Amino acid sequence: MHANSRAALMIVVSMTMISSNDAILKVNSAELGIGQILFIRGVFATVVFLSLIRITGNRLLSWSMLDRLNMARGGAECLATFFFVTGLSMLPIATASTLVWTSPILLTVCSALVLKEKVTLVRWFAVWAGFAGVLCVTTPFGSAFSWPMFLPLAAAAFVVLRDLLTRQLDAGIDSKYVVLSTLILVTVAGGVASLFDWHPVEFGHLAWLFASSVLLSTGFFLQIKAIRLGELSFIAPFLFTGILVSVGWGYWLWDEIPTTSMVTGIALIIGSGLYILSHQSRAAGKATRL
């Protein structure tokens, strides 16, 4: 199988896992607090990740984890996670999953305003098309609008901040310690939040949250492998399969049927995101050839 084909298959599997993780969190949010969910899942995920580090023969911890920018990045990830999971607990899963995918669009805006990168007219058109998609999904002036829709959008904004901080990290900081420090920060933050909203935990909750941690960590691992293996311009369309999987979970578990407006919004967000991602891939390729 060609490298791009293998990468695309990995992306489809990874996005299915990540969206399935979202469905598990939404189901459990009906009986457990948000901080409680993130704390329990975080403990499982941290133990699994530390075990993988030990198996590979690396040190469990590194002082580089305490780097100022790395800690700020972890803080941005914490806020993004809390906003998204809270929104997920209050919104249809397809709505939350679609709105958080506005991050590539917001990143383009921030790249122009903060990093002073040159943005072509066509890319600006993609940005405005993406925002039009957000309006179609949220229908801010319609009866379907609700304030929790701002939560996944806030999560997308903090994802952008996380990505901007990631670009500034010292190249000497190993990626696995960046991931580990983020896991620990989210787990600790979840633990603190859970003190104010703790509910009885049953074995079934633990089993599902363990499954969630495995799905999420494996999904992100496959995503990283795929991006390194294939061309982003080829695999970018498959990144949005997570939205379609979320729509499927929403219909199967909660009888959620997307409206015509929402389908239009999803198409606009996916289309603008695809153009932006493919443009970034071509720009990276030109830089490499130089």
- Give per-residue pLDDT as tens, 146-156: 899 999 999 99
Question: What are the tokens at 205?
Answer: 């909750």
Q: In this structure, how many other beta carbons lie within 10 angstroms of the beta carbon of residue 234?
A: 17
pLDDT at 288: 31
pLDDT-derived band at 1 (thresholds 50, 70, 90) equals low
Average model confidence (pLDDT) across the chain: 84
Residue with the two structure tokens 């957000």: 134
Residue with the two structure tokens 């580090």: 53
Q: Which CB contacts under 8 angstroms, 24+ apart, belong to 250-257?
A: 250/92, 250/93, 250/94, 253/23, 253/27, 254/92, 254/93, 256/92, 256/93, 256/94
pLDDT-derived band at 287 (thresholds 50, 70, 90) equals very low
Q: What integer is the mean pLDDT of 250-260? A: 89
Question: What are the tokens at 35?
Answer: 């901080």
Q: State how far the alpha carbon of 6 is from the alpha carbons of 20, 186, 284, in Å.
A: 21, 32, 21
pTM of the model: 0.83
Distance CA 186, CA 47 (A): 14
Question: Left if phi > 0, otherwise alpha if psi is -120 to 50, otherwise beta: which for 255?
Answer: left
Q: Is the pLDDT of residue 281 over 60?
A: no
Q: State how far the alpha carbon of 43 is from the alpha carbons of 226, 228, 262, in Å.
A: 26, 28, 36
Structurally, how many domains does the chain consist of? 1
Higher pLDDT, 279 or 91: 91
pLDDT at 280: 58
- Give per-residue pLDDT as tens, 124-137: 888 888 888 888 88
Distance CA 27, CA 250 (A): 11
CB 133 within 8 A of CB 272: yes
Residues in the chain: 290
Domain membership of residue 124 as a residue range:
3-289
Distance CA 15, CA 27 (A): 18
Higher pLDDT, 225 or 98: 98
Q: Strands, DSSP E only, in the chain? A: none
Q: Which secondary structure element, helix H or strand E, spans residue 31, and what is its range?
A: none
Question: What are the tokens at 160?
Answer: 């952008």
Question: What are the tokens at 113?
Answer: 């305003």
In degrees rounded to 5, what are phi and psi of residue 248?
-65, -45
- Give per-residue pLDDT as tens, 180-212: 888 899 999 999 999 988 899 999 999 999 999
- Give per-residue pLDDT as tens, 72-95: 989 999 999 999 999 999 999 989
Q: What percent of the chain has pLDDT over 90?
A: 32
Q: Range with the lowest mean pLDDT among 103-107, 207-211, 215-219, 233-237?
A: 233-237
Question: What are the tokens at 217?
Answer: 């960590």
Q: Is the pLDDT of residue 278 over 80?
A: no
Q: What integer is the mean pLDDT of 265-280? A: 78
Of 263, 250, 283, the closest CA to residue 91 belongs to 250
- Give per-residue pLDDT as tens, 10-22: 888 988 998 999 9
